[in-house]
A = this chain, B = another copy of it.
Amino acid sequence: MNRSAVVLLSGGLDSATALAIARSQGFETCAISYDYGQRHRVELSLAAQQCSIQGVAKHITVDVDMRKIGGSALTADIEVPKDRDEAAMSHDIPITYVPARNTVFLSYALAWAEVLGANDIFIGVNALDYSGYPDCRPEYISAFQTMARLATKVGVEGAELTIHTPLIDLTKAQIISAGLDLGVQYEFTSSCYDPSPEGRPCRHCDSCLLREKGFASLGMTDPLVARFDG
């Protein structure tokens, strides 16, 4: 049995936690990161740092050419929304949505899994906090897995490729709590959509607000904020 798993690693809080969970389940982890022209490129250096801290076996960063496709505040010259209330966050598909992003990312992960002979892929999607993203829903992940089993040599040969989504039903506080139990160093993760070049979070975008609320509900200060302010 091949116990390698491919883990999608953005350098954010969720994917750093998904990585720790994959390791805790006994997988040798191979991390894949994506350079897609995101404003928040500081996360890529934090992804590399997480690989080093967490003892990842292999790490690749793939260039994903989303700029020619356009259509998102995360890659195009559209303003990142700030200080939105939770009703707006949970009911709209946000302008920070990158078209088909998880589909593109999972496709590369699938290709690499096939080359590595890995039957397991971990992705830190979360359906509760980000209900606005269509490609974070359980039914989407399930459909991707069905497609993936048919797409590859692995599928032809009958192996059972599995897309693991250990965070899908967790609140942000539960994710943080699980990660802390596994020793995740959240001061070396970045969630902000619009950070300073050094990685200081803006503390006003949707992602910062959700993260800060998660730590607050555990009675904690975000160690990333503390790293910059302390």
Q: Interface residues, chain A, CB within 8 Å of chain B? A: 60-66, 68-71, 93, 97-104, 106-108, 110-112, 114-115, 134-135, 137, 139-140, 143-144, 146-148, 150-153, 155-156
Is the CB–CB distance between A103 and B148 below 8 Å?
yes
Contacts of A137 in B (CB 8 A): 150
CB distance from A130 to the nearest CB of B (A): 13
**Complex Cα spacing A60 to B63, Å:** 17
Which of B65, B108, B151 contacts A102, CB < 8 Å? B151
Contacts of A70 in B (CB 8 A): 115
Contact (A111, B107) CB under 8 Å given A134-B152, A140-B147: no
CB distance from A161 to the nearest CB of B (A): 11
Given contacts A99-B111, A103-B111, A143-B143, 19 further A-B contacts (CB under 8 A): A69-B111, A93-B153, A98-B111, A99-B110, A100-B151, A102-B151, A103-B151, A104-B107, A104-B108, A104-B111, A134-B153, A134-B155, A134-B156, A135-B151, A137-B150, A139-B150, A140-B151, A143-B146, A143-B151
Nearest B residue to A62 via CB reads B65
Contacts of A134 in B (CB 8 A): 150-153, 155-156
Is the CB–CB distance between A114 and B99 below 8 Å?
yes
Contacts of A100 in B (CB 8 A): 107-108, 110-111, 114, 148, 151-152
Contacts of A110 in B (CB 8 A): 99-100, 103
Lowest 5 CB-CB distances: which A-B pairs, in order? Answer: A100-B111, A71-B115, A143-B147, A99-B114, A99-B111
**Complex Cα spacing A151 to B151, Å:** 17
**Complex Cα spacing A68 to B70, Å:** 24
Nearest B residue to A66 via CB reads B111
Contacts of A114 in B (CB 8 A): 71, 99-100
CB distance from A56 to the nearest CB of B (A): 15
Q: Taking each of A106, A107, A108, which has the highest tally of chain B beta carbons within 10 Å of its own beta carbon?
A: A107
**Complex Cα spacing A103 to B106, Å:** 9
CB distance from A80 to the nearest CB of B (A): 18
Contacts of A143 in B (CB 8 A): 143, 146-147, 150-151
